[in-house]
Structure 1
């Protein structure tokens, strides 16, 4: 049975699911009727972070043009440029048991491609969510629906997988950025 989270809520992942090692992180969204008439292209971006909360190198930034981290433990499965249809728009596979020890946290973000040029923001996005699925069984374990809390933001940190006392936990973050992907890269030490 899936557990629905609220913003800021943290929950254990591996302790309550013994033997869980491979998960799929699904990210989804829709655009509302006030989309400005231009095509929306939202993208999943993943940052593999050390204890200081920084990505050690650009190779630790996983997205459609760099589909996996150096160890292959975090893999972006492909870019969906339209967001059409139900379910996950983009997915990331994470092999928790293979994530390098120096990676303390994995941040999952959604950004709007060319947001400034297209005059788009998350105020025009609805039904955004992140969910964690057991890759072996297909069972949804955790779901966090972001709600409609955003207006001018062009990027959102939706959630984080992080290590705590040898176990993996999930934090429903829901934090928006007006500076888009550039703001995320700066905060995560890549600029």
Structure 2
């Protein structure tokens, strides 16, 4: 049963059968803007960027996976590639960008793994017709079990923002857990969001 993420919620990485999740996917699905003009409705491409920043126990940023770098140094995190448009013909139900994370391959020095989104062209979240994030077990093309999801486009708190922090996986006593942050930030760029996470959310 998928959990609709709420701010501040902490989740154990446990599957419905009680075993621990070894690897997860974070998928983002969003739609292009619709602009009404004199001659009907036009589609305007939306470029959302899913990224992932890794920090050590001293909260130092040791790696970042994004459209600029599709694999982490330890090969544990992989990005599916940059989607520059969003769904142009309505919601196709598929994720536009997926980041996979294999906890068994993560560098021992990784203590926090944070996921966040930036609107590359500065398009306001509130103007995007739909944008949802889900965390699931599976692969970029096969969803086995969704264990958490988050709706960005319809949440009033995101109006006026172009970046948001989804949440942070963190290590406690050798086990990985998840803290759902789900908060917009005032950042305009990916690099700024990495610092905001470091200062406020680890």
* Counterparts of 2:45 and 2:134, CA distance in 1: 25
Which of 43, 50, 56 is equivalent to 1:50? 56
Which residue in 2 is equivalent to 1:69?
Answer: 72
Which residue in 1 is equivalent to 2:161? 153
Which has a greater percent of strand?
2
Residue-pair matches, total:
182
Normalising by structure 1, we get a TM-score of: 0.82
Shift of 1:14: 4.1
Shift of 1:80: 1.4
Residues 92-171 of structure 1 mapped to structure 2, 5 A cutoff: 92-115=99-122, 120-135=123-138, 138-146=144-152, 147-171=155-179
**RMSD in angstroms over aligned alpha carbons?**
2.6
Greater C-alpha Rg: 2
Say which is worse superposed, 80-89 or 8-17, in terms of deviation: 8-17
Tell me: CA distance 1:98–1:134, structure 2 relative to 1, closer, same or farther (3 Å): same
Q: TM-score, normalised by structure 2?
A: 0.78
Equivalent residue runs for 1:17-56 within 5 Å: 17-30=18-31, 33=34, 38-56=44-62
Q: Distance in 2 between matches of 1:53 and 1:4?
A: 28
User: What displacement does 1:138 show?
Assistant: 1.6
How far did 1:34 drift? Answer: 6.4
Query: 174-183 or 149-158: which moved more?
Result: 174-183
Larger RCO (CA within 8 A; separation ≥ 6)? 1
Structure 1 alignment gaps of length 5 or more: none
Unaligned regions of 5+ residues in structure 2, if any?
37-41
Q: Which moved more, 1:73-82 or 1:162-171?
A: 162-171
Give runs of ≥4 in structure 1 deviating > 6 Å: 34-37
